[in-house]
């Protein structure tokens, strides 16, 4: 029945696009008019639009002229002209929707039209990106268009202090990451005077990679904390106990497990094949639930060995010792659930978190509730004092502050119900400018990880011999460096892009589409990265995206796949998996 109804009336997305197309036709009708303008006339037109708004003309009435002006400004400032489908995406953003545009279709350029239009009112527009690299890149790149039009552009980056931040927020358009915007809000709310605030009205926000920020990280709390009176020595004592416990388990448990698990136990206890196994010894581990619980036997050992930390004449489970029990559990998590070069890295004597969604380092961010201290003790670096929470907000609640919110991504349709329910945002799927030419090959599954890695290297070698560039996707820093070692053994030149090498990101990405290039990357390369294949590359099949494992989120896999076949270019993708 519903299929017949759609045939008669059309689905909602089609109707929306048809209504937008009428506006695009009006925008195109102004093209001759704006082409006749001299360069110095563009800021004058901006002043004219601002005056019309002050005279109570509706913002929507300016759409055809303003969008046409931005398109011509873009052509002159950066040499890029908006396609009609990019104007459709811009209209979706202006009307407070999420524009789903396939990777490579120019989401960043598409956003310039609605951003310019909404900045004319003088209340500011915030463009939120997932990382500092994209914020800086886009503010410099798209900023040329806005400055050509006479608007001011600001950039919020880590390390900028209040005066610089206040100036950036006072600009017509402000770029920055979700973290920077959120923490500035928290810091402002801790100040005693409104005059000291750096932010102003929450007018209009465009969120790049909106599914990552508003869904994946929606409930991530931003926390401003202050130091507490903390006994650092307890972390070292508990760490020694847990380290000793792990050695006992290696000795006692190996004989009780099936033979195919013995190798994993001996190498690394936390990598057992059965993630739900419950140990007969000191604690039970459930990796799927990410929980660890002490058994009665383990509790007895704690009482025996951590007497110095327990309140005299009390039991471990007495109220007075709940904090010690909590820190033991955190130490167990640090040893058995958090892996170096996967969940965090150690650099210059500090434990730095790796963002599980973007693969990027998050300097300055710390795990809460003593977990970060447990990791510091585990890695033998200086243990910092635990902090107390002074102010906190989730991204979900922060982005609800805006009068108008919109976003763009290559993968939003699968989460459209959540966007509507939580943020009242619709999803408009924008058609591609050219038909997709990428070939998505079937997954290949191997019995063992070793067999998969061998096949990965063989596949890379085959493609490299004919000059086809390869982007190899890995789920962790550790895996990316393992594959790098195998390629070095085969004398295959390559680059590695992960959180450890992020400072060379722009250089590595710019070369990844060149003839014969081999690039190994974590999911850092899955979002916001524009890999442009050279003409020679297109002749041998375009960029080949080779995944070495599926991510928990299908959207992240789709984002990674979308690095190839942009703007109708040839390309291919495939995932190699293991049991």
Give the model confidence (pLDDT) of 502-516 as tens digits: 667 767 877 888 999
pLDDT in tens, 206-261: 999 898 888 878 888 888 877 666 677 788 888 877 766 644 444 344 344 333 33
CATH 3.40.50.300, applies to 438-578: yes
Q: Is the pLDDT of residue 526 over 50?
A: no
Every domain of the chain and the residues it spans: 2-224+394-429, 233-385, 438-578
Note whether 31 and 72 are within 8 A (CB): yes
At residue 502, the pLDDT reads 63
Position 480 confidence tier, pLDDT thresholds 50, 70, 90 = confident
Q: How far is CA 521 from CA 244, 280, 335, 484, in A?
A: 36, 39, 26, 10
pLDDT in tens, 103-138: 778 899 999 999 999 999 999 999 999 888 889 999
Mean pLDDT of the chain: 84
- When pLDDT is averaged across residues 274-299 and rounded to a whole number, the result is 65
> In this structure, which topology does domain 2-224+394-429 adopt according to CATH?
Rossmann fold (3.40.50)
More confident residue, 249 or 452: 452
* Residues 271, 94: Cα–Cα separation, whole Å: 48
Q: Is the pLDDT of residue 38 over 80?
A: yes
- Residues forming a β-bridge with 429: 100
Tokens describing residue 30: 């102004």
Of residues 578, 571, 572, the one with CA closest to residue 474:
578
- When pLDDT is averaged across residues 168-193 and rounded to a whole number, the result is 94
Q: Is the pLDDT of residue 437 over 60?
A: yes
Q: Is the pLDDT of residue 151 over 90?
A: yes
- When pLDDT is averaged across residues 381-406 and rounded to a whole number, the result is 90
Cα 419 to its chain centre, rounded Å, is: 17
At residue 172, the pLDDT reads 98
- Of the given ranges (23-32, 73-82, 290-299, 525-534), which has the lowest mean pLDDT? 525-534
pLDDT in tens, 253-282: 434 433 333 333 333 333 433 333 334 467
The superfamily CATH assigns to domain 233-385 is SecA, preprotein cross-linking domain (3.90.1440.10)
Could you say which DSSP state residue 160 is in? Answer: -
At residue 120, the pLDDT reads 98
Integer-rounded Cα radius of gyration of the chain: 27
Decide if 233-385 and 438-578 have a common fold.
no
At residue 241, the pLDDT reads 73
* Residues 294, 289: Cα–Cα separation, whole Å: 15
Global pTM?
0.72
For the four alpha carbons of 165, 174, 190 and 217, in that order, the dihedral sign comes to negative
pLDDT in tens, 454-465: 999 999 999 999
Q: How many CB atoms lie within 10 A of CB 571?
A: 30
At residue 243, the pLDDT reads 66
At residue 68, the pLDDT reads 98
Q: How many CB atoms lie within 10 A of CB 493?
A: 10
Percent of the chain at pLDDT > 90 equals 49
């Amino acid at each position: 029945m519903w299929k017949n109804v759609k045939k008669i009336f059309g689905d909602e997305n089609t109707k929306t696009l048809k209504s937008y197309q009428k506006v695009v036709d009006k925008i195109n009708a102004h093209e001759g008019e704006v082409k006749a303008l001299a360069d110095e006339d563009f800021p004058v037109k901006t002043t004219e639009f601002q005056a019309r708004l002050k005279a109570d003309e509706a913002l929507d009435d300016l759409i055809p002229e303003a969008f046409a002006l931005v398109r011509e400004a873009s052509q002159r400032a950066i040499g890029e002209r908006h396609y009609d489908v990019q104007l459709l995406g811009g209209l979706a953003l202006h009307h407070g929707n999420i524009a789903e545009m396939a990777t490579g279709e120019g989401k960043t350029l598409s956003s310039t039209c609605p951003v310019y239009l909404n900045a004319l009112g003088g209340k500011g527009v915030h463009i939120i990106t997932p990382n500092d690299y994209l914020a800086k890149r886009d503010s410099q790149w798209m900023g040329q268009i806005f400055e050509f039009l006479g608007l001011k552009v600001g950039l919020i980056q880590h390390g900028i202090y209040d005066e610089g931040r206040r100036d950036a927020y006072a600009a017509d358009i402000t770029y920055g990451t979700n973290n920077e915007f959120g923490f500035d809000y928290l810091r402002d709310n801790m100040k005693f005077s409104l005059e000291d605030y750096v932010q102003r009205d929450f007018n209009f926000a465009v969120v790049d990679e909106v599914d990552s920020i508003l869904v994946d990280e929606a409930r991530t709390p931003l926390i401003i904390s202050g130091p507490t009176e903390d006994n650092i020595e307890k972390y070292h004592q508990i760490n020694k106990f847990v380290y000793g416990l792990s050695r006992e388990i290696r000795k006692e448990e190996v004989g009780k497990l099936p033979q195919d698990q013995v190798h994993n136990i001996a190498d690394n206890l936390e990598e057992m094949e059965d993630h739900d196994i419950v140990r007969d010894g000191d604690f039970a581990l459930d990796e799927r639930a990410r929980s660890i619980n002490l058994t009665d036997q383990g509790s007895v050992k704690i009482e025996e060995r951590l007497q110095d930390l327990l309140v005299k004449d009390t039991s471990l489970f007495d109220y007075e010792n709940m904090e010690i029990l909590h820190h033991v559990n955190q130490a167990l998590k640090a040893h058995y659930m958090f892996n170096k070069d996967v969940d965090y890295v150690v650099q210059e004597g500090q434990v730095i978190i790796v963002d599980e969604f973007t693969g990027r380092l998050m300097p300055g961010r710390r795990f809460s509730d003593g977990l970060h201290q447990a990791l510091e003790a585990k890695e033998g670096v200086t243990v910092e004092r635990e902090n107390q929470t002074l102010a906190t907000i989730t991204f979900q609640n922060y982005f609800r502050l805006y009068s108008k919110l919109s976003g763009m991504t290559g993968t939003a349709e699968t989460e459209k119900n959540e966007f509507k329910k939580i943020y009242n945002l619709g999803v408009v799927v924008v058609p591609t400018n050219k038909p997709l030419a990428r070939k998505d090959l079937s997954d290949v599954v191997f019995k063992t990880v070793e067999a998969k890695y061998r096949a990965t290297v063989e596949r890379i070698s085959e493609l490299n011999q004919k000059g086809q560039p390869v982007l190899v996707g890995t789920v962790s820093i550790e895996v990316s460096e393992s594959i790098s070692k195998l390629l070095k053994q085969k004398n295959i030149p390559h680059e590695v892009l992960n959180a450890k090498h992020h400072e060379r990101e722009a250089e590595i990405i710019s070369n990844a589409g060149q003839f014969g290039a081999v690039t190994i990357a974590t999911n850092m390369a899955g979002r916001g990265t524009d890999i442009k294949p050279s003409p020679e590359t297109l002749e041998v099949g375009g960029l080949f995206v080779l995944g070495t494992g599926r991510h928990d989120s299908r959207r992240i896999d789709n984002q990674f796949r979308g690095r190839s076949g942009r703007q109708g270019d040839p390309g291919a993708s495939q995932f190699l998996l293991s049991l």
